[in-house]
Amino acid sequence: MSATRPLRLLVITYYWPPSGGAGVQRCLKWVKHLGYFGVEPTVITVDPAQATYPVRDESLLAEVPPGVRVIHTGTTEPFESYKKLTGRAVPYGGFANEGKPGLMQKALRFVRGNLFIPDPRRGWNRHALAAVEKLLAAGEQFDAVLTSSPPHSTQLIGLELKKRHGLRWLADLRDPWTDIYYYKDLHHTPFAAWLDARYERQVLTQADTVLVTSPETKRLFLAKLPELPSTKFHVLPNGYDETDFRQPSQPPTDCLRITHTGTITELYHIDCLLEAVASCATRHPDVPLRLRFVGQVSAQLRGQIEQAGLLAATEFIPFVPHDKSVEYLLQSSVLLMAIPDVPRNFGILPGKIFEYLAANKPILCVGPAGSDADNILQECEAGQALPYRNSALMLSTLETLVAQWRQNPNLDLPAVSHSRYSRRALTGQLARIAAN
């Protein structure tokens, strides 16, 4: 790379505005800040008119820097057939919007897990590859290519570009691959599981650099392939964008409101916490406790809320644009986060944890003690993990918050430095990794 020109980075990602949800944020925020660090990104993504996004957020289009080139391609995917057969929307990660699967859904999950490996969006790959080949044939040069997943089929684009052109390749895996918590629900045959694991191994082995979001995910991949150098793996958490939090904090004064944003299902096992909230409300009737869920909530979890007697105290708000989601955070007393109660969940680090930190509210985290999420919360003095069945700790934590609320309804935390988790700071780390 010449010292007189910026580093040219090719970013290949399926999720890009107007896609909404958590998956789009990582690459969008990187691209938003890369120019500040002397990196010129070109984005290859799917044509939104042909894409199958679980949710859309048109407001995110305004965050794409005007000088960034974004190339949209066609795609070939089976999701239209899925919607016709089931009458349902495209599944969320973990099937949070499907409820208890019927025979048709189980059959379609089997088809998805065995005929579309690694995933049904693999049909986009040939279109994306053609777009890259067109750029290269026109004489364009890139210092590195970054592929971000899920969908993990996107990593096969990087694998093919590495084979064809020897481009320096950064594989960004926002989630585990064959160890994702809902993997068993795809009902893989032995051959399909073998092939998927083979793709995963090829990507981890042949990428020049592997980016992950948590230390535990790095340990997970290294345990699978101990012959790989640990220096190949870099932990880059998701972070928060400081510009999203310019609006003021406005905690309610008429109730102690606990807010959760994003997708949540019964796998997150917050039933004990719900019981603790109900018990706390009974013991302290002078402090109105309210729950607010913003985003996708599974039918089973709604049933647990009703069973705990909290339905009248709970507000359900469907998916909203990202800026509105931040507004709901700032209009809360306390924030709720949960880690799915599944094997190998110590490395699950939801992107929302960093936005929760930026909102400067106490955080109730239902999940395993000693996990990556727990370590960050304690490091930033924002809370601690509440193990799934530790009802006593949950109740005592809630009662402490209630006592504080009586003294002052504003429970906002003292300013704690978490700037190392800002999107700009993390993008600086990415720029250094891409240049080396």
Task: Provide DSSP, 46-95.
Answer: E-TTT---SSB-GGGGGGS-TT-EEEEE----SHHHHHHHH--PPPPGGG
pLDDT above 50: residue 366? yes
Q: In this predicted structure, what is the pLDDT of residue 96? A: 44
Q: What is the pLDDT of residues 316-335, one digit of tens each?
A: 999 999 999 999 999 999 99
In which element (H, E) is residue 435 found?
A: helix 423-435
pLDDT at 67: 92
Q: What does DSSP say about strands 314-317 and 289-294: parallel, antiparallel, or unpaired?
A: parallel
Return the top range by mean pLDDT from 70-84, 366-380, 407-421: 366-380
Range 7-238 has CATH code 3.40.50.2000: yes
Q: How far apart are the first and last CA of the chain?
A: 11
**What is residue 336's predicted lDDT score, i.e. its pLDDT?**
98
List pLDDT tens digits, range 205-232.
999 999 999 999 999 999 999 999 999 9
Helix (H, G, I), strand (E, B) or coil at 275: helix
Give the single-character DSSP code of 339: -
Domains 7-238 and 242-407 share a fold: yes
Instruction: Look at the chain and count its residues.
Output: 436
**Contact between residue 211 and residue 188 where contact means Cβ atoms under 8 Å apart:** no
Is it the case that residue 97 has pLDDT exceeding 50?
Answer: no
- What single-letter DSSP state applies at residue 297? B
- Classified by CATH at the fold level, domain 242-407 comes out as Rossmann fold (3.40.50)
| Interstrand relation of 7-13 and 39-46 (parallel, antiparallel or unpaired) | parallel
Return the pLDDT at 81. 47
pLDDT digits (tens, 9 = 90+) for 120-164: 899 999 999 999 999 999 999 999 999 999 999 999 999 999 999
Listed by start position, the domains of the chain span 7-238, 242-407
Helix (H) or strand (E) holding 145: strand 144-149
pLDDT surpassing 60 at residue 83: no
pTM of the model: 0.87
CB atoms within 10 A of CB 138: 7
Angle in degrees, CA 128, 221, 241, rounded to 5: 65
Query: How large a percentage of the chain has pLDDT more than 90?
Result: 81
